[in-house]
Structure 1
Amino acid sequence: MANDVLVVVEEQDGTVTDATRELLGAGRALAGELGGDVLALRLGPGSLAEQLAGADRVLHVEHPALEPYNPEAWEVTVAEVAKDRGARVVLMATTTVGMDLGPAVAARLGAPVVCYVVGAAVDGGQLVATAKIYGGKLLAEVEVPGEAAVLVAIGGSFAPASGGSVPEVEPVPAPAALDGLRTAVRQRIEPDRSDVDITAADLLVAVGRGIGDRDNLELVQELADALGAPLASSRPLVDQGWMPKSRQVGKSGLKVKPKAYLMFGISGAPEHIEGMRDAELIVACNTDPNAPIFEVAHVGTTADLFDLVPALVERVG
């Protein structure tokens, strides 16, 4: 049985994602305990090896069906490479790609899959994963049996790989099955990038369902304008069409790391916390003293936002 760790690489506009770098860090630790290598699996044009320090080798597969992302093509390729290499662990990120791909690859391998992973280690030769369950309210420690396993990890759970030289690139032939796929990508629709980039902001004001009504957004927008900060939001407001997708913070939105993150009417669901927990200063306003957000906030208040926000606007002005 091989003890290698296979990391599925994701990139955006030619840049390896932060989640992938974190997976390389997790893979480095696991490979050290297992006595194997870290293999970064890059599917698509360009190996991106210079961005994959932390891997021992980059396995590079090129085929027209792999770019843009095609779930059937990636599933076939990842499973075949993992099987051929006898990988002990396959690591993916909790992204739209990873959540789509992880269970499918595990099914092809006949291997167990653990999603929402926040920790992984080897104890007495046994792979043990720690995962969030019940929406992040509980942590489950799971012994993962078998000769192979797929772990889908939550971003921000592992330290990214650092240091190391550019890994060797090993071209890998594309599976023959890619020439007879049942799925084809007809069109790729990119999100509107004309809006402000909230990931680059040093200060963010964010609002959640506690705002109550769409018309009340103007109140928090006034504070954001006074502070010279973009207005961001939690997912419920985007789902209702009150805020654009480009302003959504969270697992299914954007991950932000501002110097200060001011929140109003956001309860602190795990999906939102995942996107902003690395902010240097988190200030939360929620009338519910038991709101989960107070577990991560540096400063918190149960004041009514409709009283607090106008007072802040007056003070800032």
Structure 2
Amino acid sequence: MLELYVDINKIEAQILCLRNMYTTYAGVAANNENAFHPVKKLWFYDDTGGNVIGSYDTVISLGHSNCVSYSHFFQDTIAPLMLIPKDVWENAYIVGYGLPQVVKETFKLLGFENRVIKLRMKQWIFAQKLYIAINPRPYISHYGTAFLNMSKIFRSYFKLQDIIPTEYVFMNRDSKMRKIGNMEEIFYAVKRNFPKIQWKYKQDDYGTLNESSIGWAKIKLIFTPIGSNVIRCLFMKEKTACILAMGQFFDASVMKQLGTLEIYTCVFVVNKMDHWNTTPNIVDIPEILGLFRAAIHHLENGTWPGVSSETHTFIA
């Protein structure tokens, strides 16, 4: 928990400008002799050999091969980009690897519209000046001011500051992994127990970034399983709330996202929920109701309620 607190409140990271280097779609930097990796090379820093297909003056290369994941693109490409000076942005090309439409929309609003380099496996480019992030390398590692400033840019661009969050939302995952099997039963149980609140059930099927940003900016409280969908919290206003259903795998990255943005967070650990399993997960309704009471109490009073159960603990 101390690590969470530290990463939420500050960031210690480095940006290097390397001369006469090669790079890939996965953020690898190499010269004619070596590819540079963390001490422990991980599979998503792909340095497979191939052809050099282009030469550039200044290139920014962040992210890794798993940035095809919606969440990882924002966490591991866009968040560390916030640490690179804006005057470098103005003339640099950037390696854009991820879901094509998300990459296109994001770099357009950041001003890189005609300077995005799209690479595939076994393709390399040469850069006279190459900007990379190290210590740490990008992988669920850039929170604090980097993540917060990313959120501010999106909220400003889409004019989300004018939206007052009022919606109390249930949202299941479209993905089969970590999907809640009894979401409908939970929805009606919550409606019965908190009848003064207008609860909504929404599909996680937003199209463009603009549509997604507006949808999430309206949220005052959301209940959802943990996963890439939660990265859209970057569109939410501070001092809103999120109730997460989490498995035995503690996903610290999601907690850091929400904590950085000062979104009140309740976590419910679902027995037997495997992070990568596709089996529908059943949530204990009486226990989850306690988290709804806690989140609503915090929204209304600005503090967590007193702990009256061994199953609930408040850490901040």
TM range, smaller chain: 0.3 to 0.5
Higher RCO (CA < 8 A, seq sep 6+): 2
TM normalised by structure 2 equals 0.35
TM-score, structure 1 normalization: 0.35
